[in-house]
Every structure is written in structure tokens, then in C-alpha cells.
């Protein structure tokens, strides 16, 4: 399978990337590690007129400690995140979710920013950043803005990013004393999750992000509130699918996904000490 | 780009996949195309020393980079220790997955020099052997790691 023909431009800096995006608008698509975009292009589900390759904008590949959060460059590869001492010590949930993405070859290429900007409800990483209440730094022709994870995912494969904007950094709160669990149910080792759950308990705060439980990456808000109000894991997990519309497909029906969400969040909460 | 230490240069369409560049422009046919959808790992090569699935990398992304294929592992007539271990342990049946399996295994040992059996199995989760010859493949990787340490 070969993608439809496209023009290719390599950007050497984030400024150059933004200027190319501004020039080409809707026709352009950013290429980072390529492990979301290239498969879509090979299946001809995406056929951008121009691909802007930001894969070598090395200034956007870093993990830094900045006050109460970790600043992670959008082009940091999964492998670097899952092995980063800073990530492992301060936000173990993100490392655990990242380690479950695809397989080693995929994680050598794929980037955190690419996975998030793709906005796929079946992806593991959005569930972790939602549970962690991370925020996103977005840069465009008119400057920089910060968007909360909750406001970033707007629909199926849709995010708050405008066509001429670039996701540059993910800010993840440092929570070295949190307890957490990443749960993923799939059929084969490298498969996407049928349902997954990122569970985080930090002091009295509870964060639960879900994989494949709606048309976009979502939090289990009713469950989180129940835990914060003192419910047990058993009681709270009953609310895991409340208000959500999980898809029905060849892998699982809506009812089965809701069941999995209850089971996986219960396990996750228990593993996190609830 | 440099493939197995040799500079290879060609004008290609941006949509050319790295695996096609390797097989057609560089005429190195050891890298196989299996599923063509980044599942099976038959097309695994090293890009700057790390395993990647060359069906999901554009050739232009490897421009000016270092690529190593299965043909680049042996030193003349002397097999790479991983190739030697695969031969010793009879870690292949039909052989189709073997080049990708060996490349993935070499990359794994670069990152985890003395893995446990579980780490080998997890480290090779991106490579499928449809003869289901995993037992001897895992044995070979463990043997190669022993000879390394």
C-alpha cells in the first residue's frame, strides 16, 4: 500500500513549521513520527496535499522539570518518555501508559505530541494526560496559548488545534506521591485497547481517563466525583460508563465496553490503593 | 542516506516507503514486506541504531540518516552473534519473519543487554512468526545475550 501523491516539505524549526502551515492551511498535515499519519495515508483515509515534516525539529524533544510540573516537548518519542528518569519519578502513570503503545518499533518512532494531536479515542496516551490534568502549549502565527487536556479533545480525531497551529509542549503536574494504575484490555500484545483506563489518586483528588469509551478521549467524571466523596472502588466503578457513548464494532458492543470500563476501573482503583 | 555503511542516493517521490527504497533503489532484498501495516515486523530495520518498521517510514524521513538492514549485520563471512544464535537454536522455520526478527532482537539487546525471558517476549511483541516458532526464537535471543555478557 502506497499513499496518494503529496508534496513534502521539511521544517527545521517550529517557526518554519508554523509558517508552512499558515501558507498551506487545510491542505497541509504535520508529520512527526508518522505512526498515526502514515498508516492513514497508506489506507487512503487521509490524502493531504502537502506533508510538513517536523520530525527533525529537535528543539521540541525534551523532558524538563519546571516548578510544579514536567515540561515535555511535543516531539519527544515514546521510548524516551517511558525510560525518562524524570517521568518515572514524577508521573509514573504517563510512563506506564506510554509503555503500552504499540510495540518497541512503534515507540522508537512515535511521539507524544503526534499521538495527542491525532485525537484518537482508541489511543492510550490521551487517557493518561486526562487523568493527570495535563495542559497543552499550542503555538500559531498569533502566538502561544495554553489549553487544558479537557478542552483539547473536541471530537473523533478532532482537537482544539487550528490548521495553522502546532502543539509544542505538554505540561504534566509533578505527582511523585500519587498512586496510579494503567489498565488495558486487548486481544493481542500489540493491539489497540478494546477499552483502557488510566487511574490516578493524588491526595484527595481522583483522575480517571478512558480509552475507547466515547467518540473522543474522555474522563469518567461521575466515578471521579464518587471517589472524591468517599465511595469505595466497587461502588465508584459502577459509574465508569455513566454519560458516555462507547462505540460498537467487531471487537465489542457498547454494552461489553461499558462492562469492561467498570471492571478495569475497579481493578485500577484497587491497584491505586482504593 | 547511508545503508549498511554505503551511501545510497536516488530521486524518489515523497510517498516512497523506506522498505521500497531499500528493496528497489538499494537492491537489498533481505528486508521482507509482510503485512504492510506496521503489525508483523517482517520489514524491521535499524534507523540510526533503533528498530523501526520500514513499511511505516517514508524514505525521505531517512534522508541523511543511517539505516542498517539484515545484510549489514554480518562481518564478511562471520555472522553477527544474533545470526549465529538463530542458527544454533534453529530459530527459524519458513524464514520469512527471520530478518525482521533478528533486527528487532539486536535492537532489544542494545537497550536491555541481559533480558529475562519475559523481557525478550515483550521486546519482540512487534514481530509475528506465523510458523509460531517463538520458543526457539526466544531461546536464541537469550543465548545471544549470554554470549554478549
Contact A274, A201 (CB under 8 A): yes
Q: Are B61 and A53 inside 8 Å of each other by CB?
A: yes
Do both B52 and B88 map to the same domain?
Answer: no
Asked if residue B149 has pLDDT above 70, the reply is: no
Where is the domain boundary, B72, B106, B130?
B72
Q: Determine what percent of chain B is predicted with pLDDT higher than 70.
A: 98
Do both B64 and B85 map to the same domain?
Answer: no
Query: Would residue A193 be called left, alpha or beta, if left means φ above 0 and alpha means ψ between -120 and 50 degrees?
Result: beta
Residues facing A181 on adjacent strands: A199
Do both B22 and B66 map to the same domain?
Answer: yes
Do both B42 and B63 map to the same domain?
Answer: yes
Nearest CA in chain A to B57: A34
Q: Are A104 and B125 inside 8 Å of each other by CB?
A: yes
Q: Determine what percent of chain A is predicted with pLDDT higher than 70.
A: 100
Length reported for chain B: 149
Asked if residue B65 has pLDDT above 70, the reply is: yes
Banded pLDDT at A204 (limits 50, 70, 90): confident
* Test mutation, B126, B128, B130, B141, chain A, max A CBs within 10 A: B126
Contact A195, A210 (CB under 8 A): yes
Contact A141, A18 (CB under 8 A): yes
Q: Are A105 and B125 inside 8 Å of each other by CB?
A: no
- Taking Cα atoms as reference points, which of B126, B84, B134 lies closest to residue B107? B126
Residues facing A198 on adjacent strands: A182, A209
* Count of A-B CB contacts under 8 Å: 82
* CATH number for region A180-271: 3.30.390.50
- Output the average pLDDT for chain A: 96
Tally of structural domains, chain B: 2
Q: Are B36 and A7 inside 8 Å of each other by CB?
A: no
Q: Which whole-number Å values give the CA distances from A197 to A38, A93, A103, A258, in the listed order?
A: 26, 11, 19, 12
- For A191-225, letters b (16+ CB in 10 Å) and e give ebbbbbbbbbbbeeebbbbbbbbbebbbbbebbbe
Do both B21 and B60 map to the same domain?
Answer: yes
A16-35 pLDDT per residue, tens: 999 999 999 999 999 999 99
Q: Are A105 and B60 inside 8 Å of each other by CB?
A: no
Domain with CATH 3.30.465.10 in chain A: 58-173
Task: For residue A268, give the 3-state DSSP assignment.
Answer: helix
Q: Are B14 and A6 inside 8 Å of each other by CB?
A: yes
Contact B54, B44 (CB under 8 A): yes
Nearest CA in chain B to A33: B57
* Chain A residues lying within 8 Å of B13, measured CB to CB: 5
ipTM entry: 0.95
Residues facing A69 on adjacent strands: A66, A173
A216-252 pLDDT per residue, tens: 999 999 999 999 999 999 999 999 999 999 999 999 9
B91-104 pLDDT per residue, tens: 999 999 999 999 99
Domain with CATH 3.30.390.50 in chain A: 180-271
Asked if residue A156 has pLDDT above 70, the reply is: yes
Where is the domain boundary, B72, B94, B120?
B72
Q: CATH second-level architecture of A7-53? A: 2-Layer Sandwich (3.30)
Distance from CA of A190 to the nearest CA of B (A): 6
Cell of A154: 473536541
CATH code assigned at B35 = 3.10.20.30
Banded pLDDT at A188 (limits 50, 70, 90): confident
Residues of chain B with a CB closer than 8 angstroms to some CB in chain A: 13-17, 20, 36-39, 41, 44, 47, 50-53, 56-58, 60-61, 104, 107-108, 111, 122-123, 125-127
Where is the domain boundary, B46, B72, B98?
B72
Distance from CA of B27 to the nearest CA of A (A): 19
Banded pLDDT at B148 (limits 50, 70, 90): very low
* Chain A residues lying within 8 Å of B126, measured CB to CB: 102-106, 190
Q: Are A34 and B108 inside 8 Å of each other by CB?
A: no
Do both B66 and B98 map to the same domain?
Answer: no
Which letter does DSSP use for residue B55 in this model?
G
Asked if residue A274 has pLDDT above 60, the reply is: yes
Q: Are B14 and A105 inside 8 Å of each other by CB?
A: no
* Chain A residues lying within 8 Å of B60, measured CB to CB: 8, 10, 53
Q: Are A34 and B57 inside 8 Å of each other by CB?
A: yes
- In the prediction, which pLDDT does B147 show? 57
Contact B25, B8 (CB under 8 A): yes
CA-to-CA distance for A12 and A23, rounded, in angstroms? 16
Task: For residue B86, give the 3-state DSSP assignment.
Answer: helix
* Chain B residues lying within 8 Å of A105, measured CB to CB: 38, 41, 44, 51-53, 104, 126
- Taking Cα atoms as reference points, which of A248, A239, A232, A274 lies closest to residue A195? A248
Contact B119, B69 (CB under 8 A): no
B13-27 pLDDT per residue, tens: 999 999 999 999 999
Domain A58-173 top-level CATH class: alpha beta
The boundaries of the domain holding residue B95 are: 81-148
Locate cell 554478549: which residue? B148
Whole-prediction pTM value?
Answer: 0.95
Do both B54 and B113 map to the same domain?
Answer: no
Asked if residue A190 has pLDDT above 90, the reply is: no
Do both B86 and B65 map to the same domain?
Answer: no
Amino acid at each position: 500500500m502506497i499513499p496518494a501523491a503529496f508534496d513534502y516539505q521539511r521544517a527545521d524549526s517550529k517557526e518554519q513549521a508554523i509558517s508552512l502551515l499558515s501558507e498551506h492551511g487545510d491542505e497541509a498535515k504535520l508529520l512527526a513520527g508518522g505512526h498515526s499519519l502514515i498508516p492513514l495515508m497508506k489506507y487512503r483515509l487521509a490524502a493531504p496535499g502537502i506533508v510538513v515534516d517536523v520530525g527533525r525539529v529537535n528543539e521540541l524533544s525534551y523532558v524538563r522539570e519546571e516548578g510544579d510540573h514536567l515540561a515535555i516537548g511535543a516531539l519527544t518519542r515514546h521510548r524516551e518518555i517511558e525510560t525518562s528518569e524524570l517521568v518515572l519519578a514524577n508521573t509514573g502513570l504517563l510512563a506506564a501508559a506510554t509503555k503500552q503503545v504499540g510495540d518497541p518499533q512503534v515507540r522508537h518512532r512515535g511521539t507524544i505530541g503526534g499521538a495527542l494531536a491525532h485525537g484518537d479515542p482508541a489511543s492510550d496516551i490521551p487517557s493518561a494526560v486526562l487523568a493527570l490534568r495535563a495542559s497543552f502549549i499550542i503555538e500559531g502565527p498569533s502566538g502561544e496559548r495554553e489549553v487544558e487536556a479537557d478542552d483539547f479533545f473536541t471530537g473523533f480525531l478532532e482537537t482544539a488545534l487550528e490548521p495553522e497551529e502546532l502543539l509544542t509542549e505538554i505540561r504534566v503536574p509533578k505527582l511523585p506521591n500519587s498512586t496510579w494504575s494503567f489498565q488495558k484490555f486487548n486481544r493481542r500484545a500489540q493491539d489497540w485497547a478494546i477499552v483502557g483506563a488510566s487511574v490516578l489518586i493524588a491526595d484527595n483528588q481522583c483522575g480517571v481517563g478512558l480509552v475507547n469509551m466515547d467518540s473522543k478521549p474522555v474522563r469518567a467524571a461521575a466515578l471521579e466525583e464518587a471517589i472524591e466523596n468517599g465511595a469505595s472502588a466497587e461502588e465508584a466503578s459502577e459509574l465508569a460508563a455513566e454519560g458516555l457513548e462507547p462505540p460498537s464494532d467487531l471487537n465489542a458492543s457498547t454494552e461489553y465496553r461499558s462492562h469492561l470500563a467498570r471492571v478495569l476501573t475497579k481493578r485500577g482503583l484497587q491497584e491505586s490503593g482504593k | 542516506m547511508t545503508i549498511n555503511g554505503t551511501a545510497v542516493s536516488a530521486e524518489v517521490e515523497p510517498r516512497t516507503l523506506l522498505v521500497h527504497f531499500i528493496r528497489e533503489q538499494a537492491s537489498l532484498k533481505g528486508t521482507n514486506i509482510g503485512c504492510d501495516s506496521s503489525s508483523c515486523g517482517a520489514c524491521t530495520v535499524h534507523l540510526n541504531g533503533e528498530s523501526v518498521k520500514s513499511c511505516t517510514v517514508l524514505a525521505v524521513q531517512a534522508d541523511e540518516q543511517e539505516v542498517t538492514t539484515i545484510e549489514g549485520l554480518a562481518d564478511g563471512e562471520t555472522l553477527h552473534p544474533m545470526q549465529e544464535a538463530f542458527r544454533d537454536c534453529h530459530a527459524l522455520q519458513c524464514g520469512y519473519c527471520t530478518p525482521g526478527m533478528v533486527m528487532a532482537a539486536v535492537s532489544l539487546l542494545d537497550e536491555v543487554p541481559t533480558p529475562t525471558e519475559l523481557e525478550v517476549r515483550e521486546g519482540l511483541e512487534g514481530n509475528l512468526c506465523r510458523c509460531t516458532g517463538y520458543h526457539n526464537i526466544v531461546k536464541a535471543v537469550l543465548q545471544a545475550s549470554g554470549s554478549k555478557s
